[in-house]
Amino acid sequence: MFKPKKYLTALLFLVLSVYTAQDNSTKEIEALYEDRPFSTPAEDLKIGFKALKIAIAANNEDQIKSMLYEICAAYYRAGQYSEAMKYAAKIDSRPGSDKYYSKIYISRIKFHLYKDFGMTDKAKLELDNAFKKASRLENQDTDTYHELKGYLYRDKSEMFTDIDSILKYDQKNLEEFLKFRKLYKRFSNLSMPYNNVGYDYLQKGNLDLALLNYKKAEYYALKADDQFNYAYVCQSFGEYYETLGKPDIAVEFYKKCLAIAQRFNEYKLALAATDYIRQIYLKQGDRENSIKYDQLFTELTNTVNVNKKAELNKVVAIIEKEKDLELINSNKSKYWIIGSLLFLGSLISIFAVYLYNKNKKDYLKFTKVIEEMKNRAATQVHHTEKEGAKSLSTNISDEKEHELMKKLNNFERKEQFLSSEISLGSLASNFNTNVNYLSKVIKKYRNHNFNSYINELRINYITEKLRTNPEYLNYKIAYLSEECGFSSYSSFVSIFKQQTGLTPSKFIEYLSKEQSNNNQN
């Protein structure tokens, strides 16, 4: 005989069992990450896979997505970009609940991956999608939401090259983190936002505000026992004291940064700290220490480059596979809308005309750039102290201005701007002056702020290399980027286009055609 009460009781027990199992899995996973303010990528992977196993056993979809994200992020930190992309795809393909915003965070990982490989349009698309998804979330007054929004603003700042825009979005990142209701460990604390804002002020030459933000960054890093962010704070203090002309104090902070970076296998951070240290010892004439840190710098450079080269082909293969899948899906869709496409013939014709005109305009931009380069080469134009001087006052003595201009001309002649580690602070220290004086002289005689000045020198250098050395036309864009001092592929592409009106690949295409035509004639 059917007994509904009995079956309802059994069903209720089953539902409660599922919820209890999921709740227990959440607590078990949280316990794995407890009291771990920072760990190496390898340690994060080990915990991530263990936590994923727990989430799968409990059929906890939110935790499954969250742990897949943790694994993806760990692979990205480890430089294993191909594996990171595979796990990003796994999260994107999973339906159902997403309580921890894992799919939005995956867009952040993909944003950085695409940006690292110079796919600026795809990177921007991922970031825009992440902002749109975040804007549609229901509860926007929680710590988890403010954390997400803060990170997105931080990513947004990386899309700009001018310091004012970077500062604007770094401050938005800080504002979101200041809305937290409690103090967090690991990456979700106030140290990094304050540190980023401090760095921006240092680049603007505002040392007081830079120091104020650095001290806050140090306070929150130590309070949260966050060694990762504390390492970056130490690097920032090093730059600050080097700018003040106190290299011995700067070295102490750089060495603290290096020790932490080495402990957690953060090779890029260790590489930057090592380079700062060896440069200071070289200026001081400390041959023994400069050689010691030169050797370490070489070892770290090789480690980073070997890993980067090993991953590059894998990532490109995955990206090409994604493009092929997109093309296949696109072709399938065409079969369904073939009738409609017949009516779009006129639009296609218009677009063809647009492309023709665009290519024509691009070629005119190219010829203009080449003409300017030839004029510079023919007349051997060099910057002088009168160039750009006009009526701008610096409140610096003529003797001091003349001394700084002499050093600046020497800096350009020796092509020292090709170092990816050059900064306003380090150059001011090398010139035995302060950032305020140097900024004013650059503005007066070069009509640029520091970043624009360095960018112009680098782009002029690489375009001249491309024009006068045919072998450079065969080099990859990534190599050209590093050759002229850019540490970021995407920044190089963006600034190259901003200065010439063309992308590097388009510029090389036109230059190759022109040289081929000249050879035939």
Q: How far apart are CA 460 and CA 447, in angstroms?
A: 16
Token digits of residue 345: 């013939």
More confident residue, 516 or 75: 75
CB-side exposure of 169: number of CA atoms within 13 Å? 16
Residue-range domain boundaries for the chain: 183-310, 346-381+448-520
C-alpha–C-alpha distance, residues 148 and 129, integer Å = 13
Select the more confidently predicted residue: 498 or 31.
498
Confidence at residue 29, expressed as pLDDT on a 0 to 100 scale: 77
Residue with tokens 């939401």: 145
**What does the block give as tokens for 341?**
């496409």
Greater confidence (411 vs 139) lies with 411
One-letter amino acid for residue 330 of the chain:
S
User: What is the rounded distance in angstroms from the CA atom of residue 464 to the CA atom of residue 452?
Assistant: 18
How high is the pLDDT of residue 256?
Answer: 95
CATH node for 346-381+448-520: 1.10.10.60
**Mean pLDDT computed over every residue of the chain:** 80
CA distances from 158 to 68, 103, 521 (A): 25, 21, 46
- For the cut 80, the answer to whether the pLDDT of residue 316 exceeds it is no
And the tokens for 251? 């070295």
pLDDT (tens digit per residue) in 331-371: 444 444 444 444 455 444 444 444 445 555 666 777 777 77
Residue 388 has pLDDT above 60, yes or no: no
> Does residue 496 surpass a pLDDT of 60?
yes
Alpha carbon distance 69, 187 (integer Å): 15
Nearest to 219 by CA among 186, 249, 195: 195
Burial class (CB in 10 A: 0-12, 13-18, 19+), 236: buried
Average pLDDT over residues 131-148: 90
CA 412 to chain centre: 27
Tokens 């092929």, located at residue: 324
- What tokens were used for 356? 């023709």
pLDDT at 101: 92
For residue 149, is pLDDT > 70?
Answer: yes
Using the predicted structure, report yes or no on whether residue 438 has a pLDDT greater than 80. Answer: yes
Task: Say how far apart CA 259 and CA 192 lie, in whole Å.
Answer: 19
Give the CATH number of domain 183-310: 1.25.40.10
In the numeric block, the tokens 């220290």 are attached to 429
State yes or no: pLDDT of 171 exceeds 70. yes
* pLDDT, position 386: 46
Task: List pLDDT tens digits, range 391-433.
Answer: 455 677 888 889 999 999 999 999 999 998 889 999 999 999 9
| Range from 279-293, 304-318, 377-391 carrying the lowest mean pLDDT | 377-391
Kindly state the tokens that stand for 118. 């110079």
Name the percent of the chain lying above pLDDT 90. Answer: 36
Q: What is the pLDDT of residue 379?
A: 56
Q: Tell me: pLDDT of 231 over 90.
A: yes
Q: Is the pLDDT of residue 17 over 60?
A: no
Indicate if the pLDDT at residue 381 is higher than 70: no
Output the pTM of the full model: 0.57
184-199 mean pLDDT: 81
Sign of CA dihedral 247, 252, 253, 257: positive
